[in-house]
Structure 1
C-alpha cells in the first residue's frame, strides 16, 4: 500500500511539473527577429548617381541631380517601374531636395567639379505634372552655399549650414528662411556648430541637425573633420541648443528622416573607413538617447531618404567614400 501511495505522489508531482512548464512556455512571448532593410525589386532601374537627391512628390519617387548630367528618374510604387523625366537645365549636386506644394525644389546645391564647386545662385523648381524645370528666385548672394540641409515647414523653405567654396573651405552655421508668398529671405539665428554635407529634419516644431563635417580640402582634410554634436533649433524661442548626447558614429553625407519620436540618421561617409557607412542610428527626441537600428543592405552616402506609407526609402548614392561606385539600387525599411 505504501509503495502504491509513493507511486501516486510521484505521478502527481510529475504532472504538476509538466503543467507548470507548459504554462511558462505559453506565458513567454515568442521572440521576433528584428526588422531588416530589404532591396526593392523594380521594373527597370534608374541612372546610377551620387551626391543626388531622392524624394517623394504626390505619391511618386524622384531621383534628381548628382555629379554630371543626370535625367530625373521617376519611380511609380503602384507599377513598381522606373521612367525618365527631363534633365535639369544645369548640373546640380550636393543638395537635399524639398517636396513642397506639389513640386520639387532644389536649393543649397552645387554645380561644377571637385574641389571648386560653385553654389547655384537660384532655387530651381521641377513640376512633375508638366515634366518641366523653371529657374526660381535668387538666393541672396552672400548666403549662397551647397551641401546644406533644406526642408519646408509651415509654407516656408529653409536652408541650414553648408559650405560656400565647394570642398575647399567656407563651411558655415547659417539658418535662412524663404517665404514664397512674399518672395523674401530672413536670416535666423546661427547654429552653434558649423558643418556641411548634412541634412536636417523638423520634429515637434524643432530643427534637428545631426552629422556632417567641416570640409577643408585646402588643408587636406576633406573627410576627417566630422562633427559629433547634435544642434536643435526651437521655432518657438528662435534659439539653438546642443544636445548632451553626440551622434554615436560620426559621419557626413548622411540622410535623415523624422518618424514619431525618432530622428533617424542613415548611411554616410568618413575618414574612418573606405566603404560608405551602412549605419542607421535613431535619436529618441523624448529622452535624448540614441539607438542602433538594423544596418543598410548596402552602405551609401550622398543621397536622400524619405518616408512613404510606413516605409523608409533610400536609393542611389556612392558605395565608398568619395565618388564611387555610383549606385542605382533602392532599399526600404518597414516602420510598422
Structure 2
C-alpha cells in the first residue's frame, strides 16, 4: 500500500503485463503503465514510496520459466526502472517490506531442492540496489497468498509444499529480519 491505495501486478496471459491500483476511498480502479516484463507468480512490496516487483514466471505453463527480473515503479513519475536482478530466477514467491528493505521468500527454484521448491530468502536494499542471501526458511514453500509484518517479524502463513499446489501446509513460518535499509 502507498497512500492507502492497493497495487496489483501481473497475471497469466493475456493480462500478464497488467498493473493497476485500487483506491478504497473512492472504490475505483485505475489502469497504470504496464509491467515492462510480463510475468505471474511474482513478489511485490511497497518500499520507500515505490512498488518493487521481483521474480515470477514468464509464460502461462503450469511451471513457466522463472525469472530474476526486478522492476520498480515510482507513482510520482508513473515510470518503471530496472533494479538489480534477484541472485537466482525464482517463481511462486512471496514478498514483504520491512525496515526500508524488500524480502523475498521461497518459491520454485533450482530442481536440486527437495520437490523443486526452494527455502531461500533474500533481502533487497533499494538504496544500494543490492540483494543479500539470508538464512533459509525451515520449509521450502511456494504459492503463498501473502505475508504480514507484525512487531518486526514477517509471518509466512501456509503455502504449498509440492509443485502444483496440491499439497499445502498449515505451518506458520516466522522470519525475524536483522537486515535494515533505512
TM range (shorter): 0.7 to 0.9
Correspondent of 1:173 among 95, 106, 119: 119
Q: 1:64 to 1:232 in 2, by over 3 A?
A: same
Is 2:88 aligned against 1:146? no
Correspondent of 2:6 among 61, 76, 85: 61
Q: Distance in 2 between matches of 1:79 and 1:208?
A: 30
Q: CA deviation at 1:94?
A: 1.0
- Give TM-score scaled by structure 2 length: 0.82
Q: Distance in 1 between matches of 2:63 and 2:139?
A: 23
Q: Distance in 2 between matches of 1:207 and 1:83?
A: 29
User: Counterpart in 2 of 1:196?
Assistant: 142
SS of the equivalent of 1:163 reads coil
What do residues 150-186 of structure 1 show as CA deviations (whole Å, max 9, x unaligned)? Answer: 11111111111111279xx521111111222333322
Is 2:113 aligned against 1:158? no
Q: CA deviation at 1:103?
A: 1.4
Larger-gyration structure (1/2): 1
Q: Distance in 2 between matches of 1:234 and 1:116?
A: 30
Q: Distance in 1 between matches of 2:100 and 2:169?
A: 30
Correspondent of 1:127 among 66, 74, 77: 74
Structure with more of its chain in helix, by fraction? 1
Q: Distance in 2 between matches of 1:75 and 1:203?
A: 24
- Give TM-score scaled by structure 1 length: 0.47
**How many residue pairs were aligned?**
172
User: Counterpart in 2 of 1:113?
Assistant: 60
User: Counterpart in 1 of 2:37?
Assistant: 90
For structure 2, list consecutive stretches of 5 or more residues without a partner in the other structure.
none
